[in-house]
Amino acid sequence: MLDGETLKALYEKHCKHGFKYSYGTAGFRYKADILDTVMFTTGVLAGLRSLHLSGQTVGVMITASHNPPEDNGVKIVEPRGEMLEQSWEKHATQLANCASESYASFATNLEELVKTLKIDTNRSGGIAVARDSRESGPRLLEAFEAGVQAFPTLRIRDYGILTTPQLHFLTSKTNEFPQNVEKDEKLYYNEFLSAWDEITTISGIEALPFELKIDAANGIGGPKISAMLSQRQVFKNAYEVSNADWQNYAALNYCCGADFVKTNQKLPHGIAVGETFNARRINCSFDGDADRIVFYYNDPQGQFKLLDGDKMATLFAKFFQQLLRSSGLQKDVEMGVVQTAYANGSSANYLEQVLGVSVKCTSTGVKHLHHEAVKFDIGIYFEANGHGTVVFSSKFVELLNSKLATDSQSSPESYNSLKLLSVFTRLINQTVGDALSDMLAVLAVLLVLQWTPQKWDEEYTDLPNRLIKVVVPDRTLFKTTNAERQLESPANLQQEIDALVSKYDNARSFVRASGTEDAVRVYAEAASREQADELAAMVGKLVENC
């Protein structure tokens, strides 16, 4: 470990005093100008985590996702690509807050952590770091790297600008793959494009039968999706990337991107729809770090229709269910869908009542959904906002491989389904929700089923819903239970909400404190647009006045 004097000099260069940090839904996220201290301590913490995990490489992503350009944040990625182990969130918070107090407090806390976690600070280890396209990224990276220097035995690999899922993927591959395989963006593109190639072979297409418009939120997903799709002839002239101005810092997520489209339920800037209806036209929006995607289209009447995370979860559930049936595997494989309270009531109904698939509800945030999804052989998890993926158990992958090895004599339909299942385990980025890989996977399902976006949408009808944000003096007073569907405090507020909900048809509403912004979120759905809007506004008033 670095000597006290040198560490102190680094601390003084990067840390400021007097701010209290808390660990949010997915790491620390604040205005970029108050993040230097927490970046420095995250460098230290990521180092500790790598050393604690026998020197495996730990990933760090500097991003504030869909948030405005002046924000930034940081998340820590485990060696297999998951979010930081939750029991370590308190260490991350404590270290940041001690550093925000004084050097002495930081040094004491660090020493205690090393001791209680029994960390050998002399061993080697590794950190993989990347950032999104924000202006504050390089400065925060510098503070982060200074923190990592607390342990001179650690190697840092700086990947520059990546999407969040690329960093998750490369972190996981760094730990999984032999030394002689170069862990770079090429590896990422090859992985998903080679799976995609099998899809085009199976479906026998030479040109994509869709007119695909991508809104890249003026974030890093723009150049990356172009780098990916331009490698394949099948996409030639079939897609267009809008809002690809990733070097214009102020444009990031502004009036565009997945969050804008989902929240406002309308087209983003830069995506226009033609005069005449085109059944093959499909649009999608990424968020700023490309770990979310939502699709949408305009129906023959010209009305905007959103195909969000719930629609993706149900599409995958239906598709995999069909493949499991036709390959004769449905009895051996447990498939489930994991959602949050934001999932539209109609989607859960469709899954349970129409498809007969089991549905679990967890708190918001990938760490919660992922954790629950890995309990299934095929665990499909999506937040309504478009963040999600599918995870496949190793038992399922082994079963597939052994069936594929022995079943080549069985019916062509069954063999084809086994092959498709196997391709999808490789087409989907299982480490985390990934706009690029999710986009390919959705297109692949539509191709195989020969569905248009409208056909996909017609499986069920969403209940009209509204999400609003209420700024309150202290959002920490809002405590929830039952996977965030009910409030425990402030006292009596839940009863008041329930009383309001009972006045509307098919209605549901819940309130939770945001984990990424200083605000409280109110969700409402009901049988009609007017009712959903009115209920959200009424519950919002209750929150404001409590």
* Catalytic residue set: 65
Annotated ligand binding at 289? The verdict is yes
Q: Which residue stretch of 50-58, 92-100, 219-227, 359-367 sits at the interface with ligand 16G (rule: CB under 6 A)?
A: 359-367
Query: Does 263 participate in binding ligand 16G (rule CB under 6 A)?
Result: no
Q: Which of 7, 366, 428, 441 binds ligand 16G (CB under 6 A)?
A: 366
Q: Residue 120 CB, nearest distance to ligand 16G (Å)?
A: 30
* Residue 173 CA: distances (Å) to CA of 10, 153, 167, 430: 31, 21, 10, 12
Tokens of 22: 């808390």
Q: Which does 289 bind (CB under 5 to 8 A by kind): Zn ion, ligand 16G, none?
A: Zn ion
Q: Which of 57, 218, 362, 385 binds ligand 16G (CB under 6 A)?
A: 385
Q: Residue 385 CB, nearest distance to ligand 16G (Å)?
A: 5
Based on CB atoms, which residue is closest to Zn ion, 185 or 289? Answer: 289
- Number of chain residues interacting with ligand 16G (CB under 6 A): 14
* Residues in contact with ligand 16G, shown as a per-residue x/- string from 48 to 67 under the rule CB under 6 A: -----------------x--
Annotated ligand binding at 385? The verdict is yes
Annotated ligand binding at 508? The verdict is no
Q: Which does 364 bind (CB under 5 to 8 A by kind): Zn ion, ligand 16G, none?
A: ligand 16G
Q: Residue 422 CB, nearest distance to Zn ion (Å)?
A: 29
* Distance separating alpha carbons of residues 53 and 92, to the nearest angstrom: 16
Based on CB atoms, which residue is closest to Zn ion, 75 or 466? Answer: 75
Angle at which helices 435-449 and 412-427 pack, to 10 degrees?
160
Angle of CA points 213, 306, 272, to nearest 5°: 40
Q: Which does 287 bind (CB under 5 to 8 A by kind): ligand 16G, Zn ion, none?
A: Zn ion
Annotated ligand binding at 544? The verdict is no
Annotated ligand binding at 512? The verdict is yes
DSSP string computed for 66-108:
TS-TTEEEEEEE-TTS-BPPGGGHHHHHHHHHHHHH-HHHHHH
Query: Does 362 participate in binding ligand 16G (rule CB under 6 A)?
Result: no
- Amino acid letter for position 434: D
Strands 211-215, 281-286: parallel, antiparallel or unpaired by DSSP? parallel
Annotated ligand binding at 513? The verdict is yes
Token look-up 């260069």 returns: 13
Q: Which does 136 bind (CB under 5 to 8 A by kind): Zn ion, ligand 16G, none?
A: none
What residues numbered 12-41 form the site for ligand 16G, per CB under 6 A?
25-26
Q: Which does 313 bind (CB under 5 to 8 A by kind): Zn ion, ligand 16G, none?
A: none
Q: Which of 91, 281, 387, 475 binds ligand 16G (CB under 6 A)?
A: 387
What residues numbered 282-301 form the site for Zn ion, per CB under 5 A?
287, 289, 291
Q: Which of 89, 132, 383, 462 binds ligand 16G (CB under 6 A)?
A: 383
Query: Does 364 participate in binding ligand 16G (rule CB under 6 A)?
Result: yes
Annotated ligand binding at 514? The verdict is yes
CB contact at 8 A, 148 and 44 = yes
CB contact at 8 A, 403 and 418 = yes
* Distance separating alpha carbons of residues 346 and 37, to the nearest angstrom: 44
Angle of CA points 152, 157, 159, to nearest 5°: 150
Based on CB atoms, which residue is closest to Zn ion, 220 or 361? Answer: 220
Query: Does 175 participate in binding ligand 16G (rule CB under 6 A)?
Result: no
C-beta nearest to Zn ion: residue: 65
- Number of chain residues interacting with Zn ion (CB under 5 A): 4
What residues numbered 50-109 form the site for Zn ion, per CB under 5 A?
65
* Distance separating alpha carbons of residues 472 and 487, to the nearest angstrom: 16
Using omega within 30 degrees of 0 as the cis cutoff, is the peptide bond preceding 490 cis?
Answer: yes
CA 367, distance to chain mean position in Å, is 10
SS3 of 466-488: EEEEECCCCHHHCEEECCCCEEE
Based on CB atoms, which residue is closest to Zn ion, 219 or 464? Answer: 219
Q: Which residue stretch of 12-20, 187-195, 294-302, 361-369 sits at the interface with ligand 16G (rule: CB under 6 A)?
A: 361-369
Q: Which does 514 bind (CB under 5 to 8 A by kind): ligand 16G, Zn ion, none?
A: ligand 16G
Cross-strand partners of 70 = none
Q: Which residue stretch of 246-254, 360-368, 417-425, 457-465 sits at the interface with ligand 16G (rule: CB under 6 A)?
A: 360-368
SS3 of 234-258: HHCCCEEEECCCCCCHHHCCCCCCH
Q: Residue 504 CB, nearest distance to ligand 16G (Å)?
A: 23
* Distance separating alpha carbons of residues 41 and 88, to the nearest angstrom: 13
* Residues in contact with ligand 16G, shown as a per-residue x/- string from 408 to 427 under the rule CB under 6 A: --------------------
What residues numbered 391-430 form the site for Zn ion, per CB under 5 A?
none
* Residues in contact with ligand 16G, shown as a per-residue x/- string from 489 to 528 under the rule CB under 6 A: -------------------------xxxx---x-------
Q: Which of 365, 379, 386, 540 binds ligand 16G (CB under 6 A)?
A: 365
Cross-strand partners of 428 = none
Contacts of the segment 272-281: beta carbons below 8 A, 24+ positions apart: 273/298, 273/302, 277/302, 278/211, 279/452, 279/453, 279/454, 280/209, 280/210, 280/211, 280/452, 281/210, 281/211, 281/213, 281/453
Annotated ligand binding at 145? The verdict is no
Annotated ligand binding at 291? The verdict is yes
CB burial of residue 27 (10 Å; 0-12, 13-18, 19+)? buried
* Distance separating alpha carbons of residues 205 and 392, to the nearest angstrom: 27
Q: How would you classify residue 39: left for phi > 0, otherwise alpha for psi between -120 and 50, otherwise beta? A: alpha
Q: Residue 528 CB, nearest distance to ligand 16G (Å)?
A: 25
Cross-strand partners of 524 = 466, 509
CA 355, distance to chain mean position in Å, is 25
First to last CA, the chain: 50
Annotated ligand binding at 116? The verdict is no
| Positions in the binding site for ligand 16G (CB under 6 A) | 25-26, 65, 364-366, 383, 385, 387, 514-517, 521
**Residues annotated in a binding site for Mg(2+):** 65, 287, 289, 291
**Residues annotated in a binding site for substrate:** 383-385, 512-516, 521
